[in-house]
Amino acid sequence: MTNQIPEITLNDGTNIPAIGFGTYKLWGNDGAAAIASAIDHGYRLIDSAYNYENEGTVGAALKRTSVPREELRITSKLPGRYHTYDKAVKTIQESLYRADLDYYDLYLIHWPNPKQDIYMEAWQALIDAKKWGLIRSIGVCNFLPEHLERLEKETGVLPSINQVELHPFFNQAEQRKWHEEHGVVTESWSPLTRASDVFTNDTIKDIADKHSKTASQIILRWHYQHDAVAIPKSASPVRQLENISIFDFVLDDEDIEAIDELSRTDGRMKDQDPAVYEEF
């Protein structure tokens, strides 16, 4: 068994790697070095966001690597304060200027902000920006099934990806099932719970010992076996390599079930329920 990263096909026919790299809090020169290191270690799917103020950092990292642009899948996200159609279009253009890119592979609506209720305009802007060639694939983050159903009902277009909070303490079983039934790929944010006590959890530690792997590798393999594309962030080249080295072993059903049982209905890290929580 090799450690090569498998690919997943999206509902628009494009491919992405089965694991990516998170960049929240990676910015400036150190951030660019960390992102370039991740690419050099084999990551090809890079997550970023307008609100992380690091699209320029991602662009700088791309200039430091010799990996061809067409092998990379670069993501950014539209903030809640720019959901109106005209602002969304200008924000996508600004995201491209910041990263010095001609196109994003993935562009996602960052939060639905249902009280504000303008995400339909944002979605139409993403659909059009895709037609204009500014974006290859379009998606969302933190959308509940009711939000996704509305996108499809009003535009006929479902997102390729929904990036949601997903980790052993909040495994999103129902949301994942909805995605699977509708051909939407699940991406997991904070897949390692931002290095909380998940790493010292006895269940995870026992499974790590059984497979002679680290806790992080067990958790990321669990995401993969649930068809969820994890995007772990690490500033450390050593941990970047550790996190991507998960394709040479298999968790058995018993392992998966034991990790599934760690999930709690109140397991969100910061109680950010997209039905009520809004971010701008």
Ligand X SMILES: NC(=O)c1ccc[n+]([C@@H]2O[C@H](COP(=O)([O-])OP(=O)(O)OC[C@H]3O[C@@H](n4cnc5c(N)ncnc54)[C@H](OP(=O)(O)O)[C@@H]3O)[C@@H](O)[C@H]2O)c1
Residues annotated catalytic, as ranges: 52
Judged by CB under 6 A, the stretch of 11-19, 64-72, 89-97, 183-191 that binds ligand X is 183-191
Closer CB to ligand X, 58 or 158, in the complex: 58
CA 237, chain centre distance (Å) = 20
Tokens describing residue 279: 């971010």
- C-alpha dist (Å) from residue 183 to 28, 76, 153, 158: 37, 21, 15, 9
Tokens describing residue 176: 């994942």
CA distance 10 to 38: 23
Closer CB to ligand X, 33 or 253, in the complex: 33
Helices (H) and strands (E) in the chain, counts: 10, 9
Q: Does 54 bind ligand X (CB under 6 A)?
A: no
Query: Closest separation between CB of residue 54 and ligand X, Å?
Result: 9
Judged by CB under 6 A, the stretch of 19-27, 87-95, 123-131, 175-183 that binds ligand X is 19-27
Closer CB to ligand X, 10 or 141, in the complex: 141
Q: Does 201 bind ligand X (CB under 6 A)?
A: no
Q: Does 168 bind ligand X (CB under 6 A)?
A: no
Q: Does 193 bind ligand X (CB under 6 A)?
A: yes
CA distance 157 to 139: 10
Q: Does 55 bind ligand X (CB under 6 A)?
A: no
Nearest residue to ligand X by CB is 22
Tokens describing residue 269: 């890290």
**Strand, helix or coil for residue 111:** coil
Interacting residues with ligand X (CB under 6 A): 22-24, 47, 110, 141-142, 163, 189-195, 216, 231-236, 239, 242-243
